[in-house]
Amino acid sequence: MNDAGYRVNERNRRILRAVTRGLFDVLTRWEVQGAENIPPHGPLILYANHQNHMDGNILIAALPWGINYMATADLWDVPVTGQLLRLYGAIKLHRGEVDRTALRQAYGVLADGGVIGIFPEGTQSPTGQLIRARAGASYIARQSGRPLLPVGLVGMDRLYDAWLHRERARLTVVVGKPYTLPPRDPALSRREDLQAMTDLMMLKLAALLPTDYQGVYRERLAHLSGVA
């Protein structure tokens, strides 16, 4: 347990990771690209695109350390999902407010050398393409100064359809290079800085994804890449 009262059961995590990995091995064809970019340990803020309820599960299967997800409080009331969150351990985040308890728990995990998992879009994309991200992940990264790890998920938007047709979906977990945010520009207000850092984070994430997944960040990424 850290100083903010957050605790996990490592035995439960090991069991759930083994079961999750086994299920994905049987029910899908999945691979990890950029495995050389995976740090051996935290502190680390992992963030990914959000297409499916199972996004967190594929990350648990693919990555070598426990991930302390920041999950909205309403998920604890969802059948199966809520039970899994209780078993695996996650930071309960209350939407629509500055949840100081959740922030203290997240900072505590990072201070202990752990890994925080965040989906910056805040909800599943209805199209599978990136939607405009919220500033929560950039706020935690700015306040903590810890490294960020972008991870792109490809194929998760087609997972249930494949299973419906009794097919093994092809999934790819694309791991980018870890990085830290640049120093704050004194010419920017706090709000402007957080927006700039959120955009920076999402552009790095978009660069890991196929163009038809890049969504609202596609044109800007193309412009920065000199394609447009």
pLDDT for 131 equals 96
Query: What are the structure tokens assigned to 117, written together?
Result: 């998992």
The span from the CA of 224 to the CA of 155, in Å, is 26
Question: What is the DSSP secondary-structure string of 54-100?
Answer: THHHHHHHHSSS--EEEEEGGGGGSTTHHHHHHHH--EEE-TTS--H
> Measuring CA to CA, how many Å separate 138 from each of 38, 157, 199, 202, 209?
20, 25, 9, 10, 20
What is the pTM (predicted TM-score) of this model? 0.92
Among residues 12, 54, 38, 82, the alpha carbon closest in space to that of 169 is found at 54
Residue 210 has what pLDDT?
A: 97
Q: What is the pLDDT of residue 8?
A: 85
Which pLDDT value is given to residue 196? 96
Helix (H) or strand (E) holding 201: helix 190-206
Reported as a pLDDT band with limits 50, 70 and 90, residue 227 is: low
Out of 8-22, 93-107, 149-163, least confident range: 93-107
Q: Is the pLDDT of residue 66 over 60?
A: yes
Average pLDDT of span 58-75: 92
Summarize the confidence of residues 149-157 as an average pLDDT: 97
The mean pLDDT value for 189-218 works out to 96
| Sign of the CA dihedral with 204 first, then 133, 180, and 111 last | negative
Residue 138: which residues within 8 A CB-CB, separation 6 or more?
A: 120, 181, 194, 197, 198, 200, 201
> Residue 30 has what pLDDT?
97
Would you state the structure tokens that stand for residue 106, as one six-digit string?
Answer: 């997240």
Residue 44 parent element (H or E)? strand 44-48
Cα–Cα separations (whole angstroms), residue 47 to 8, 25, 110, 183, 192 = 20, 23, 14, 20, 21
pLDDT tens, 170-202?
999 999 999 999 999 999 999 999 999 999 999
Q: Does residue 144 register a pLDDT over 60? A: yes
Mean pLDDT for the chain overall:
92
pLDDT value of position 1: 55
Q: Are 23 and 115 in contact (CB under 8 A)?
A: no
pLDDT of residue 88: 87
Rounded Cα distance between 98 and 204, Å, is 26
Q: Is the pLDDT of residue 99 over 90?
A: no
- Give yes or no for residue 212 having a pLDDT over 80: yes
Domain residue extents for the chain? 10-224
**Percent of the chain residues past pLDDT 90, beyond the cut:** 78
pLDDT digits (tens, 9 = 90+) for 23-63: 999 999 999 999 999 999 999 999 999 999 899 999 999 99
Candidate CATH numbers 3.40.1130.10, 3.60.70.12, 3.40.50.10680, 3.40.50.720; the one for domain 10-224: 3.40.1130.10
